[in-house]
Structure 1
């Protein structure tokens, strides 16, 4: 039989932490670690989509530059054609395929940065081969388009954009100096690339800042919705599902014909002599008692299909999916024993708080859920009549649920 699971509640990321980040006006790009991990998880999917949507037009535009090679530098056109089609294009395709597999941050961004750097290396290589040729001084200005592609089109994180920009600008300036470029061309080229680098980095910074803010807003709105949804479907005291959620789940369960052969276990639980406990110890103590019992019930749920409901004041209902009557009774007995071991002091004839539990199970194809609940409720009366603090499995098709027994 499946072991009990620990339950979780919505809002694993603290809403106050998100609100604090939303109100932070420092302009930084960092999040606290828990938020940064969530942002990176989202970013991994986004970056894969960006890569897949831009790789084809990027390759098309990049290889159209062969026309410029042919017109400006025909003597090295064959080398340029080789570099374009057999070196850089395959590298870009491989990088795209790897990024689509959602690798980690460093692998993804280093591969992403390698694409414009490879384009720039090819361009500067052809420029260097044609050093001294009149048209070459115009050819190398295309580096500004690669910078724009790297920082704006690819939208890498700012720190990666900054490093790749510095590498590209440093490489560009080094090649121009090594090629003994005349001073006017050198000055114009360095000024142009430095300006484009600065402008695209500013744009990249603002895009990441806006992306992070949008992520915070989206996460905040999602948490607000989850909290509202949880409040509408769960009992505020115990955190268990309320009757509204039970009715919704029951209607869905009955409407889904694929579940007709599913065996459902039903537990009806009642805190023995709870009115006397409440009257003697007071309502705050009574609330604390119910909350502790509800936590014990939640701990026995095995998966997200199982459902625990606060059915009434001190009465609870549990639905167990794909469960036989024997397994249902085992879970009920384990829960009864757990409450008994708490040894919460009681009054009157009891020395501590106990549970009486009625159990029933059956296929939905044989009887509707309402009938299973009626049988479990009848079994609960049997447990009460037999002296309380026990589990009573219902093995008959019907019981008289109207028997007069103290609750």
Structure 2
């Protein structure tokens, strides 16, 4: 399924505003429609052409019975021109060309068929030739409502060309009387009109069903996205976080690439809630979340609300020191935001503590990496808050690479009773 590039609002507006006779969508939805339906349309046309090629050649029975004087010419045109062209178009369409080219190729087939019919009609001297023109009716059915069924914008043009071309041959035929010619032309006009109405109705219903289906897909996608987002901050929630960790750890080509985790805790958040109220606390969480999102600039990085006033950043393919630099940049941005928190905070503003850890997916599990980052966060809080642990200095960096892993090893040993 193709990625959806339209919004639910635009689809709703299209559903509620479709009052014109045009069956085409606004440009953005039309592009999505083509993206979703192109492969299916190409497959349908390809199969239709392969099936209709032998059926078309059954028309030779009519040539033999009604216009035997031109049957050899008809056979030559059938097998040397029209049938090879149908098979070539089937192959070209199976290659999935651009939509306009696809429909142009499809439109060429009924036009070539009607030229073959009218060529025989013009050259014959058979007394039964007046009945030969009735093979135009199945050609119109084939063009507009049967196996081929052109898009309505092409069907209109091809139908008009078929009717005009055949009307010209009927009028010019000396062996057809005026009453019979009028009857033939009226009959073909009625057939053309009815098949075009059917073509329009089928395409309209197809597009309407697609539009409702697209709206349902977008609603489902929005509901799924809402279930994976924290309602207060708009960040990823634990469900989304777990899915992303599973995805990162399942990449076989990146088992040796580093993954960094940054655990963030807002300092003295309980005091802020007690002093300013929960509304101020919620606003603080939103502002910090916005800062985190603004600082994360790489595709694939994930910011999640881990719980309460804690946030977690997962940074695939980022080394430890780069993650520490990012954490320090975010720490300064939170300070610069100057969110009031007087009393417990030494600066009188909201600050945050950061714990950073890194590993290769082949060395630690996601839970172990998060535990290591949480352990580093507690170290930052124990050393005075409003800082990143490990700090951006060489000796601390060495410790930072070993302390979390030592912590994890000791925890594992304790769990086993060693």
SS at match of 2:85: helix
Once the 2 structures are TM-superposed, how far is the Cα of residue 152 of structure 1 from its aligned partner?
1.2
- Deviation, 1:272, is 2.7
Unmatched runs of 5 consecutive residues or more in structure 2? 391-399, 412-418
**Where do 1:340-351 residues align within 5 Å?**
340-348=335-343, 349-350=346-347
Following the alignment from structure 1 to structure 2, what is the Cα–Cα distance between the partners of residues 224 and 62?
Answer: 45
Q: Confirm or deny that 1:212 pairs with 2:188.
A: no
**Residue 232, structure 1, aligned to residue 227, structure 2:** yes
Contact 2:229–2:236 at 8 Å: present in 1 too? yes
Contact 2:118 2:169 in 1 (8 A): yes
Q: Is residue 289 of structure 2 the alignment partner of residue 283 of structure 1?
A: no
Distance 1:290 1:42 in 2: 40
* Structure 2 residue corresponding to 1:395, chosen from 375, 398, 401: 401
2:330 is paired with a residue whose SS is: helix
Partner residue, 1:167 = 161
Residue 141 (1) aligns with residue 134 (2)? yes
Following superposition, the deviation at residue 104 of structure 1 comes to 3.5
CA drift at 1:189: 2.0
Which residue is 2:51 aligned to? 57
TM-score (norm 2): 0.83
SS at match of 2:29: helix
Matches for 1:4-153 after TM superposition, within 5 Å: 13-24=6-17, 26=19, 28=21, 29-130=23-124, 132-153=125-146
Q: Distance in 1 between matches of 2:386 and 2:150?
A: 63
TM norm structure 1: 0.85
- Cα distance in structure 2, aligned partners of 1:11 and 1:86: 45
Question: Which range moves more in the overlay, 132-141 or 53-62?
Answer: 132-141
Deviation sequence 1:276-329 (CA, Å, 0-9, x none):
33444443343333233324434516334x432210111111222233223332
Deviates more, 1:189-198 or 1:386-395: 386-395
How far apart are residue 233 of structure 1 and its match? Answer: 2.1
Q: Distance in 1 between matches of 2:131 and 2:80?
A: 25
**Cα pair 2:50 2:87 within 8 Å, conserved:** no
3-state SS of 2:145 partner:
helix
The within-5 A match list for 1:245-256 is: 245-250=240-245
Q: 1:128 & 1:342 partners in 2: Cα distance?
A: 86
Of the structure 1 ranges 91-100 and 216-225, higher mean CA displacement relative to structure 2 is found in 91-100
Structure 2 CA distance, aligned partners of 1:72 and 1:382? Answer: 97
Distance 2:154 2:9 in 1: 30
Shift of 1:62: 1.1
* Counterpart for residue 7 of structure 1: none
Equivalent-residue separation in structure 2 for 1:373 and 1:105 (angstroms): 49
Looking at structure 1, the residues matched to 387 and 150 of structure 2 have their Cα atoms a distance apart, in angstroms, of 63
**Range with greater deviation from structure 2 (393-402 or 43-52):** 393-402
Q: Quick check: 227-236 or 270-279, which moved more? A: 270-279
Cα deviation, 1:50-107, whole Å, max 9, x if unaligned, reads 2122111111111222232233323322322222222222333333333334433432
- The structural deviation recorded for 1:110 is 2.1
Q: Size of the alignment, in residue pairs?
A: 391
**Alpha carbons 2:66, 2:126 under 8 Å: kept:** no
Equivalent residue, structure 2, for 1:303:
299
Q: Which residue of 1 aligns with 2:378?
A: 381
Deviation at 1:144, TM superposition (A): 0.9
Deviation at 1:248, TM superposition (A): 4.6
2:358 aligns with: 361
Give, in whole Å, the separation in 2 of the partners of 1:76 and 1:196: 27
Offset at residue 235 of structure 1 (A): 0.9
From the superposition, tell whether residues 185 and 312 of structure 1 become closer, same or farther in structure 2 (CA, over 3 Å).
same
Q: RMSD value over aligned CA atoms?
A: 2.9
Between stretches 235-244 and 29-38, larger displacement belongs to: 29-38
Query: SS at the partner of 2:307?
Result: coil
Work out which of the residue numbers 142, 152, 173 in structure 2 matches 1:179. 173
After TM superposition, the structure 1 stretch with the greater mean CA deviation from structure 2, 360-369 or 343-352, is 343-352
Q: In structure 2, do the counterparts of structure 1 residues 332 and 99 end up closer, same or farther at CA, with 3 Å as the change threshold?
A: farther
Larger CA deviation: 175-184 vs 231-240: 175-184
* 1:309 partner SS: strand
Taking the aligned partners of 1:72 and 1:218, their CA distance within structure 2 comes to 49
